[in-house]
């Protein structure tokens, strides 16, 4: 099915081939343009196709090109517009379109991961866990006219992210152009994503009574850290239930009143921590509507799994250019951030195939996402010159089962030794170094020579 040149790239960089194959299967250009025409609310296509803008931004986000301008310059001969038109297109892309693109790719990626059999073990059997957290975009450069006379850091926006830890997929992004908006203001939109039977986990920023009751009314469950301003009525004293890895756990029944004045019973769980939090807190409280059959110790352990989304955010920052500070306009910055999430979800499919072939523990413990991303960015440009887009059309028509079989075959060619993690020992505490203003410089060569001289002197009898 594949040419000899294809096979050579598979032997040398199978992971890069897998990434491009998944992109072709999930987002072929014609299908992507048709999707944009159905989804966009105000923007429409004149000369510049949405698939072209997507391709430009994807190369920047994945580190294949250094900037949007560099990506445009490399592909200008294939585009019918100027670079100014590209920026106009980016600056006008609606946040709703960016969110819909993430949602669409997440659904397709999730189906492919399930077909691969690459899911991780469920955090709580019988429940679909959803982890919710906010993601503030880093300050941008002052390219917008109104920012050039200011020293304050310009915030291009923020978003809420919904994450599935079993699939390692970011299911949804709820973007907001106003960098000052509180996360709580976006919770009404979150409720529209909720399905019965899901278990939502979040920090105290989401401890809003209307949100908790909204989850409960939709047949969903939650584990949310209590905010100090949350009001409730205790129905009994705290009762110790045992000790976890992080501290001593106790729980009590409580009730809150809904908008109609009806009482709703919840469980309040206290964890007295062995090690205080970064804010110096020695106790945390969790609120949940999970049934009593899910023990308080289990609830406390599940809340700790919030770190899986923090790890995903770290991967976005380390392996993808998720925050392009050259994009000052909020719509463009949010689109760039959303494309990074799309790239992460494509990457999640590749990781699922690797887990299925090489084992979950081996991939999680030994494979470095950094080295995988570095290999892809180093190989991709040359691969696309040798194998132009028409060569990849074969993946667009594969069924879900055939695509999964193909990815599993490609995963067997990935040399894990080439992308192995290198664990370092514990860091030594930093010491204050002496500084002599009379001698602000030193000669490295002289210092090395002195060390060698002392070493020889110490070795002589």
Task: In whole angstroms, give the CA distance from residue 204 to residue 224.
Answer: 6
How many CB atoms within 10 Å of residue 108? 18
**Bridge partners of 416?**
none
Q: Which pLDDT score is estimated for 104?
A: 93
**Bridge partners of 221?**
199
Candidates 64, 63, 41, 26; CA nearest to 331 is 41
Contacts of 153-158 with C-beta under 8 Å, sequence gap 24+, read: 154/179, 154/328, 155/179, 155/180, 156/327, 156/328, 156/329, 156/330, 156/332, 156/333, 156/334, 157/95, 157/330, 157/333, 157/334, 157/337, 158/134, 158/183
Per-residue burial over 127-148, b if 16 or more Cβ lie within 10 Å, else e, is bbbbbbbbbebebbebeeeebe
Residue 9 burial (C-beta neighbours within 10 Å; 0-12, 13-18, 19+): buried
Question: From the CA atom positions of the chain, what is the Rg in Å?
Answer: 26
Task: In whole angstroms, give the CA distance from residue 415 to residue 449.
Answer: 41
Task: In whole angstroms, give the CA distance from residue 62 to residue 316.
Answer: 10
| 461 residues of the chain, pLDDT tens digit each | 677 888 899 998 999 999 999 999 998 888 888 888 888 766 555 667 888 888 888 888 888 888 888 888 988 888 888 888 888 888 888 999 999 999 999 999 999 999 999 998 899 999 999 999 988 887 777 777 777 777 777 878 889 999 999 999 999 999 998 888 888 888 999 999 999 999 999 999 999 999 999 999 999 999 999 998 999 999 999 999 999 888 999 999 999 998 888 999 999 999 999 888 888 889 999 999 999 999 999 999 999 888 887 778 777 777 776 666 777 788 888 888 898 899 899 999 999 999 999 998 888 888 888 888 888 888 888 898 898 888 899 999 999 999 999 999 999 999 888 888 877 667 777 777 777 888 888 899 998 999 998 888 776 65
Task: In whole angstroms, give the CA distance from residue 451 to residue 457.
Answer: 10
How many CB atoms within 10 Å of residue 28? 18
Candidates 362, 402, 411; CA nearest to 115 is 402
Interior angle at CA 397, CA 392 and CA 401, nearest 5: 110
Per-residue burial over 348-384, b if 16 or more Cβ lie within 10 Å, else e, is bbbbbbbbbbbeeeebeeebbbebbbebbbebbeebb
| DSSP type of residue 94 | -
SS3 state at 234: strand
Q: Which pLDDT score is estimated for 86?
A: 86
SS3 state at 447: helix
Task: Report how far apart the first and last C-alpha atoms of the chain are (Å, whole number).
Answer: 71
Per-residue burial over 408-444, b if 16 or more Cβ lie within 10 Å, else e, is bebbebbeeeebeeeeeeeeeeeeeeeeeeeeeeeee
Q: Which pLDDT score is estimated for 322?
A: 61
Structural domains present in the chain: 4-203+306-411 (no CATH), 204-305 (3.90.350.10)
- The pTM of the full predicted model, rounded to 2 decimals, is 0.87
Which tokens hold the place of 172?
């949804």
How many CB atoms within 10 Å of residue 226? 17
């Amino acid at each position: 099915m594949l040419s000899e040149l294809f096979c050579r790239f598979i032997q040398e960089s199978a992971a890069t081939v897998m990434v491009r194959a998944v992109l072709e299967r999930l987002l072929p250009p014609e299908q992507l343009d048709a999707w944009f025409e159905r989804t966009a609310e105000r923007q429409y296509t004149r000369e510049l196709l949405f698939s072209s803008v997507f391709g430009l931004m994807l190369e920047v986000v994945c580190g294949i090109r250094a900037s949007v301008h560099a990506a445009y310059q490399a592909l200008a001969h294939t585009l019918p517009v100027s670079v100014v038109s590209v920026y106009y297109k980016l600056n006008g892309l609606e946040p709703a379109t960016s969110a819909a693109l993430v949602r669409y790719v997440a659904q397709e990626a999730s189906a492919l991961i399930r077909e691969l059999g690459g899911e991780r073990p469920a955090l709580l059997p019988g429940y679909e866990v959803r982890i919710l957290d906010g993601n503030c975009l880093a300050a941008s450069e002052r390219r917008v006219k109104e920012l050039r006379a200011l020293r304050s850091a310009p915030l291009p926006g923020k978003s809420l992210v919904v994450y599935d830890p079993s699939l390692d997929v970011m299911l949804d992004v709820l973007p907001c152009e106003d960098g000052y908006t509180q996360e709580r203001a976006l919770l009404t939109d979150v409720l529209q994503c909720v399905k019965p039977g899901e278990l939502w986990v979040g920090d105290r920023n989401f401890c809003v009574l209307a949100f908790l009751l909204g989850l409960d009314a939709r047949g969903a469950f939650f584990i949310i850290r209590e905010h100090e301003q949350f009001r409730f009525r205790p129905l009994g004293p705290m009762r110790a239930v045992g000790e976890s890895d992080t501290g001593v756990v106790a729980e009590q029944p409580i009730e809150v009143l809904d908008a109609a004045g009806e009482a709703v019973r919840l469980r309040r769980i206290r964890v007295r921590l062995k090690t205080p939090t970064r804010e110096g807190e020695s106790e945390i409280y969790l609120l949940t509507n999970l049934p009593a059959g899910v023990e308080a110790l289990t609830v406390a352990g599940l809340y700790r799994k919030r770190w899986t989304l923090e790890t995903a955010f770290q991967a976005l920052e380390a392996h993808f250019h998720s925050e392009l500070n050259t994009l000052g306009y909020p719509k463009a910055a949010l689109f760039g951030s959303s494309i990074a999430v799309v790239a992460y979800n494509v990457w999640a499919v590749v990781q699922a195939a690797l887990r299925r072939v090489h084992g979950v523990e081996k991939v999680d413990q030994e494979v470095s996402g950094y080295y995988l991303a570095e290999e892809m960015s180093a190989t991709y440009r040359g691969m696309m010159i040798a194998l132009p887009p028409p060569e990849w059309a074969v993946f667009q028509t594969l069924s879900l089962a055939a695509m999964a079989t193909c990815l599993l075959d490609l995963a067997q060619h990935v040399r894990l030794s080439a992308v192995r993690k290198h664990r370092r020992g514990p860091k030594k505490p930093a010491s204050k170094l002496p500084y002599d203003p009379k001698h602000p410089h030193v000669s490295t060569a002289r210092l090395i020579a002195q060390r060698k001289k002392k070493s020889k002197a110490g070795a002589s009898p």
